[in-house]
Structure 1
Amino acid sequence: MDSLSHHWLKRLTDSRKPAYLVIPDLIEEDLASGRLRPRDRLPGLRDLAAALQLNYTTVARAYAEARKRGLLDARAGSGTFVRGRTQTLPLAGGSSVEMSMNMPPEPPELAARLSESAASLFAHADPYRLLRYQDFGGTPDDRAAGRTWLKERLPHCADDTVLVCPGIHSALVALVSQLARRSETICLDTLAYPGIKAIASQLGVRLQPLPRDDEGPLPHAFEALCKSEKPGAFYCNPTLQNPSTLTLSGQRREALADVALRYSVPIIEDDAYGWLPTSKPVALAALAPELTYHVTGFSKTLGAGLRVAYLRAPTARQTQRIAGALRATTVMPSPFTVMLATQWVNDGTAREMLDAIRVEANARQAIAAQELAELRYDAHVDGFHLWLPVPAQCNWSAPELALQLRNQGVGVVAGAAFSTDGNPPNAIRVCLGGPQDRDDCRDALQRVAETLNDPHHLHMPMM
């Protein structure tokens, strides 16, 4: 625990938040990064207070907050143990249904097209090319395919500003490492992709949440931060946001881009879901091209295993800087998956599969509308996840509900995983892409509805 205590002490010193809220955040971040694992034992209150130079009451309050978020278990006579997030459940087999991983649903035709394309690639490609180092950032053909894909949303995308990356997450690692030094700030929504939290923690970058309303981060809060402490970047997941499903309006995008332009703050536009809606809003990179690093990919539109992303940087020089950071952290994308992505873009398969996945998502959203008709939740017809507030009458926290649902054979994620301000909403994210077929999806959603509409039968008497 010595190295962990040292890490926590530094973060506590750097943070402006109360210590009792920072410690649960650190537990959650260290779970995501692997520093902590479920069932790890944490120090006693007095020991941790001494190690962190805090008083006993503050640490006791921090542990209570962490238990409220579902991160810790306290066992009388045994100590305090890390609980961790809801465990991942198998995709198929038994009665377990995976609804915690946000992956595209798999239409029946996908497997056949993948088999055909793979066979064609192996039949015609130089096999040694698949085993050798590749041009970093993609061959000219790979980059050309990336530009072809991007130009629907970024018609003025230049040839020398596109990189091919091994997934969006790796692109975000490179971007954060280049745009913010250790202890510097990146600002973002109060709800965000858990990966950006883990990346910032690993790199020692502070995340500054911006207050939000029903339309997303508030532009005046962004401007106030720019005046008091210019952030290294503004991170935004503007379309079908993970987890809230919110899509920023054109007006809100323009207002946020205007602030960024006036204060010269780079924008990281994580457009993982931007190709899903049939009606696509304007990209931030189109509103502020000289500041925006736009990244999208296929893991959230075609399949989680197709880890190919396209990153568009503002200038050729900045593209090369990011290429250097990517080379240092990931070396190169897998040659086979990049060749597959390039073939699919060029022969139209990528668009056909995207259309098929959208049809499947529409069908699963229709099932959700039927099975969850009595519950309030947020969703988008072309997306494949839901954001479901826990009804007040349940008297459960979101982590408790997630645990109850896991016991019912359904994996979901509690809101604490996405919170950046230490005040997680009492809500869960439910993903529709994990169930193997529509019947599995309906069955799982029925279990969610039954649990929420009649929670009392699940409470077992104490023995």
Structure 2
Amino acid sequence: MNDWIPDLGARDRPHYLAIADLIAADIAAGRLRPGTRLPPQRRLAARLGIDFTTVARGYVEAKRRGLVDSRIGQGTFVRVPPASAALRPGALPVDLSMNLPPEPDDPPLIHRMREGLAEIGGDIAALLRYQGFGGSPADKDAASIWLGRRGLVPSQDRVFVTPGAHPALLALFGMFTAAGETILCEAITYPGVRAITRQLGMRLVGVPMDAEGIVPEALEEACRRSAPKCLYLNPTLQNPTTITVPMARRAQIVEIARAARIPIIEDDAYGFIPQHGPPPFAAMAADITWHVAGLAKCVGAGLRVAYVVAPSAKAGWPFAAALRAMTVMAAPLTVALATRWIEDGTADQLLRFIRNETAARQALAREALAGQHFRSDPLSFHLWLELPHPWTRSAFAGQMRATGIGVVPSDAFAADGAPGEAVRIGLGGPVSRAQLRSALDYMAHALANPPDHDSAFF
């Protein structure tokens, strides 16, 4: 690939390190595949307008990390993992980069899901029409049943049925924050929030965290320093750290938010999974909390349905206007299916399956990654792996991708500043337990055999 030209303009590291970083990033993203030949060093130096020795040092650094091989008289190539280190045939690829609940494989449950789908088709013509915004009374009744599992009993005029959590967050951020203004969040946060705020030109400021979530003293300081317009939180089984904020810490956060007069946007994507978790912020501080309860993580990502609870009916008016302008309405077909599954108990059965299967997969992970430092929860279908020295997040993600395993480096989750050397590993989706165990075993082997100056990965 003699046309590969890294963009060094946005990098504040020495150019030779930036070149190695970009090689790793492009391997992780699939833009550089195993066996690809990199441009000759002198040619790349001329294209970048830098010294030949800088490019040479960059290639040497990439080789030190185990990303490339040099062949005398032939050039520098993206490293191909040895066949002996590959996963057993039939196990590739294993995409653990998406954070999805395990897919149901129980025949009676699948049959019940299909029955619900057939039932809503009885009046299919009506589902092809425009519907009232925010959900019909029947859909809001189903939402109330579902929200009741989290101890929430809002009136119907405070409940909105939306086409997924993303549009809801987009509308909420736009309501409270103008371009250039600040939103606070956890220092390690959900990548979708980064994408939304970047698109809207807003400033996202991460608040330092400990094992119980954002640090209260740091939150107070951020409120004084940044004049935020709102606080975004993913407080239960947080993506990606799996932290669940305990009750006492939640009370401290509410007190600080009240003093700063900022609303809390509670992304409760995983809140329905624990059976005995702490109450949501919306149950503790309904007057300042916007509760977003998506079904993607507790029923199925493809539904694209979320229930939003406003602090009051009046507060919901500008939200309804903003969301209507962007989405017109939630798709009637998917909303009808969600309502049906909640009413007939299928959603509860799906939730039970997700809990049970997730617990089994977490047990696999604990066994395979024993001795490694990672954060997880028995009911979280992802884990946060902190990489041992000398592994870097880019090198590890690149090596995994070269073997057909997808993981997400910590860069995707850092609200601002430099992330630590960590990756998120998804345990759900359409991956079988056997495939997952093979992938985790491979990771454990790689972690125990890090790159060094004298050898490649294995």
Deviation of 1:348 after TM superposition, in Å, equals 1.3
In structure 2, the residue matched to 1:447 is 442
Structure 1 stretches lacking a partner, 5+ long:
1-38, 49-57, 81-91
CA shift at 1:227, angstroms? 2.8
Residue deviations 1:280-311 (CA, integer Å, cap 9, x gap): 21111122111100001111111111111000
- Between the aligned partners of 2:345 and 2:407, the Cα distance in structure 1 is 34
Q: Which has the higher contact order (CA 8 A, sep 6+)?
A: 2
Q: Cα–Cα, structure 1 residues 43 and 387, in superposed 2: closer, same or farther, change >3 Å? A: closer
Q: Could you say which structure has the larger radius of gyration? A: 2
> Does the CA contact (< 8 Å) of 1:230 and 1:265 recur in 2?
no
**1:49-107 deviation digits (Å, cap 9, x = unpaired):** xxxxxxxxx86659956964854689543457xxxxxxxxxxx9761111000000013
Return closer, same or farther for 1:249/1:424 CA change in 2, 3 Å cut-off: same
Segments of structure 2 that go 5 or more residues without pairing to the other structure are: 28-37, 49-88
Among candidates 360, 364, 370, match of residue 361 of structure 2: 364
**Aligned twin of 2:214:** 217
Distance in 2 (CA, whole Å) between partners of 1:361 and 1:141 is 31
Q: Which residue of 2 aligns with 1:261?
A: 258
Instruction: Give yes or no for contact 2:183–2:232 (8 Å, CA) kept in 1.
Output: yes
For residue 179 of structure 1, the aligned residue among 162, 176, 179 is: 176
Q: TM-score, normalised by structure 1?
A: 0.80
CA contact 2:391–2:450 (8 Å) conserved in 1: no
Query: 2:110: which partner in 1?
Result: 111
| 8 Å Cα contact 2:397-2:407 kept in structure 1 | yes
Q: Kindly provide the amino acid, as one letter, of the partner of residue 120 in structure 1.
A: E
Query: C-alpha displacement at 1:224, in angstroms?
Result: 2.2
**Deviations along 1:206-238, whole A, 9 cap, x unmatched?**
011112222221112222232344211000000
CA distance in 2, matches of 1:67, 1:236: 34
Structure 2 residue aligned with 1:278:
275
Structure 1 CA distance, aligned partners of 2:289 and 2:407?
A: 33
**C-alpha displacement of 1:434:** 2.8
**Closer/same/farther in 2, CA of residues 113 and 93 from structure 1, 3 Å limit:** farther
Q: Aligned runs of 1:378-457 on 2, under 5 Å?
A: 378-392=375-389, 395-456=390-451
Q: Distance in 1 between matches of 2:5 and 2:266?
A: 38
TM-score by length of 2: 0.81
Q: How many corresponding residue pairs?
A: 398
2:120 aligned partner, one-letter code: L
Equivalent residue in structure 2 for 1:305, among 282, 302, 309: 302
Confirm or deny: 8 A CA contact 1:97 1:435 kept in the other structure: no
The secondary structure found in structure 1 opposite 2:303 is coil
Asked if 1:332 corresponds to 2:329, the answer is yes
- Mapped pair 1:96 → 2:102: no
In structure 2, how many angstroms separate the alpha carbons of the residues matched to 1:184 and 1:240?
28
How far, CA to CA, are the matches of 1:339 and 1:94 in structure 2?
37
- Supply the AA of the counterpart residue of 2:298: T
Q: Equivalent pairs: percent with the same residue?
A: 42
Aligned to 1:84: none
Of residues 136, 161, 164 in structure 2, which corresponds to 1:164? Answer: 161
Is contact 1:99–1:435 with CA below 8 Å preserved after alignment? no
Alpha-carbon distance between aligned partners in 1 of 2:93 and 2:324, rounded to the nearest angstrom: 39
2:221 paired with 1:193: no
CA distance in 2, matches of 1:62, 1:179: 40
1:234 aligned onto 2:260: no
Aligned in 2, Cα 1:60/1:375: closer, same or farther, shift over 3 Å?
closer
AA aligned to 1:429 is R
